[in-house]
Structure 1
Amino acid sequence: MNRLTKYVNDLTLRLYVRLQIFAAQEPVRLRAALVSAVLAAGLLIPALADADVAQIIGAVGAVVLPILAGESTRSRVTPVDGE
């Protein structure tokens, strides 16, 4: 049982790190994937089928993801001053 728990924890940590890397490198793709997932969930979960709920979740994702991606993403695409 201990090996299984250790394996699940290791797998969870690896997925989390990959998601962080993906969010930093591809914030636009991640936003699109999250909005698509919310809209797909709207087909399966009736409470999400309401357009207002999907719109709110999509808007929060569009605002929060650039903040989570952080300054490192912005610094890679911002021109350097002083040239």
Structure 2
Amino acid sequence: MKRLRTYLNDLVLRAVVALQVFAATEPVRLRAALTSLVLALGVLVPALASQEVAESVAGVLAVGLPLAVGESARKKVTPAE
């Protein structure tokens, strides 16, 4: 049992490190993936089927995601002077 727990812990840690590396090297793709995930949740979660709820959630996330991830992405995409 301890071996299984150790293996699962190792697997989770590897996934977290891989996500951090992906976020550091590909911030634009991460932002696109997060946006796609939000859109998929809007389709799959029945509570978001209401137009008012979907608009408010999408509006908040459309502003929040670029602010959260966008600064590092802007530095990578903007040409150096």
Q: TM-score of the superposition, structure 2-length normalised?
A: 0.74
Aligned to 1:55: 59
Distance 1:59 1:45, change over 3 A: same
| Runs of 4+ displaced beyond 6 Å | none
In 2: Cα distance, 1:26 partner to 1:37 partner? 16
Aligned to 2:30: 30
Q: Which runs of 5+ in 1 are unaligned?
A: none
Q: For 1:36-64, what per-residue CA distance to the aligned partner results, in whole angstroms no more than 9, with x for missing partners?
A: 00100111112334121022123222111
Aligned to 2:44: 44
Q: Taking every aligned residue pair, what percent have the same amino acid on both sides?
A: 48
Deviation at residue 79 of structure 1 after TM alignment: 4.5
Q: CA RMSD in A?
A: 2.5
Q: Which runs of 5+ in 2 are unaligned?
A: none
- Aligned pair count reads 76
Q: TM-score of the superposition, structure 1-length normalised?
A: 0.72
